[in-house]
Amino acid sequence: MTVEAPGRLRHALQAGRFVVTAELGPPRGADAGAVERKAAQLRGWVDAVNLTDNQGANVRMASIGACVLAQRAGLEPVMQLTCRDRNRIALQSDLLAAGALEIPNVLLLTGDHPHLGDHPEAKPVFDLDGVQATWLARTLRDDGVLMSGQDIAVRPSWLIGSVENPFAPPISLRGRRLAKKVAAGADFVQTQYVFDVRVFRRWLGDLADLGILERCAVIAGVGPIRSLQMLEILRSRVPGVAVPEDVVRRLRGVPADRVAEEGVRLCVETVQELRATAGVAGVHLMAFGFEHGIPEILERAGISPHRSAPAAVGGTPLATSVVSLEGDRHAR
């Protein structure tokens, strides 16, 4: 027996429609309203939102709880799970709970080391890595078998996601790295920020040569650089983010009070370029602290708010920060 979870993202990908996802960083506290307020800004504009899992190794509300709040607030969740804080028992337990709660999408990552976060003395787990956890999720879903070999009575049916960084050296090996995740079971992949579309297209060509584009949907990461401080953080503190010199010159070439608007304009242009690029299934918007600006970015890029809310769960009407400048998207 299989639990059938609602899946707007799944249906959109199967239909070949250009999808939009975004990130919601759960709050540092037990504030359900924090999720609900962000949901109100995104409802109708996105196909799904990622609920991050203690991003950057900083304590936040658990991803699974935030997923339930996002569902109630009218958005379809993608539950992120890292291997940093869980052994294989806990990973399987949380994945089964996601199936029971009808969370339709899961995304598996290795996760950042605790020394990068707010509890650097915490002991890491890393019983599995992101590739192994992806395989574990596929085995639960497709074979109905625990890692121990024991059968489960009811199989979950979520879509399985992974992450990749097309710009991390050596770039020539990034396609093969993703191929391992697809072989393990990834149905879709969300990437690190794309600022250099030319290099990104070269990576897509590698994926096409490997036959990956027919098996895994590629959702390109985008987001506005709204200050010169953010520009420097991206260039120096977020591994694998490639900001081309022409982008640097463009942002530094406008008055300080126009950097934010120029960053939004650049993001809009990038979305338009990616939308016109063969092999790109959609975009993943990362706008940390600027969720209210996501609808404007999409509208200016020519993407209208036609995405309807999913069915209710438990009688309650069934949102996103963005990556993290803190991590958890370093192609793990």
Question: pLDDT of 193-203, one tens digit each?
Answer: 999 999 999 99
Q: How far apart are CA 22 and CA 87, in angstroms?
A: 27
Average pLDDT over residues 208-223: 97
Which of 51-55, 150-154, 288-292 comes out lowest in average pLDDT?
288-292
Give the pLDDT of residue 25. 87
Q: Residue 4's pLDDT band (boundaries 50, 70, 90)?
A: low
Residue 269 has pLDDT above 60, yes or no: yes
- Taking only the tens place, the pLDDT of each residue in 125-155 is 999 999 999 999 999 999 999 999 999 999 9
- The domains of the chain, with CATH numbers, are 8-300 (3.20.20.220)
User: Do the beta carbons of residue 270 and residue 194 sit within 8 Å?
Assistant: yes
Question: pLDDT higher for 175 or 318?
Answer: 175
